[in-house]
Structure 1
Amino acid sequence: MGILKISDAMHENLRLSSSALSRSINAQAEHWLRLGMLTELYPDLNHSQICRLLIRAEEAGGLSLSRVCELADESSASRPNAAAGHAS
């Protein structure tokens, strides 16, 4: 565990969002970090697909980067146009 320095404006955004969504500030920050990480790794997935991926990862024993990547790869492979997109 470490200390993360963020701007006052981002802290305020976290505070407001965490209150609205009934999460702690740390839990809200972790949620946004997870979404951002997965969005960068898999820009072809939309928010709904990323949420389903996170749920499957949790059902499979928790969120590890390697497991999430495996699930995302499986998800991409199961879509009709995904295989053609990865072949190029």
Structure 2
Amino acid sequence: MGIVKISEDLHEDIRKASSVMVRSINAQAEYWIKIGMLAEANPDMSFSQIIREQMQQADIGIRKIVNV
């Protein structure tokens, strides 16, 4: 594990997002880094497609929610 230096503004954004997403600050930063890496490696995929593929790889069933 290493130390990554980021701006105070970005750290504050991560802190705020982590409270909304119920993640630690480190987990939120790691999540954004992973999604960013996947988006750069797969520029033709949307965020939803990336998440769907990651869920499938983790063998998590995704159900479509339909309003009745």
**What TM-score does the superposition give when structure 1 sets the normalisation length?**
0.64
Note the 1:21-40 alignment, pairs <5 A: 21-40=21-40
For 1:44, the equivalent position in structure 2 comes to 44
Question: Kindly, what percent of the aligned residue pairs are identical?
Answer: 51
Higher helix share: 1
The answer to whether the aligner puts 1:4 opposite 2:19 as a matched pair is: no
**RMSD (Å), alpha carbons:** 0.9
Distance 1:2 1:57 in 2: 27
Tell me how far 1:14 sits from its aligned partner: 0.2
Tell me how far 1:54 sits from its aligned partner: 1.4
Unaligned runs of 5+ residues in structure 1 are 60-88
For 1:16, the equivalent position in structure 2 comes to 16
The count of corresponding residues between Structure 1 and Structure 2 is 59
Unaligned runs of 5+ residues in structure 2 are 60-68
Larger radius of gyration: 1
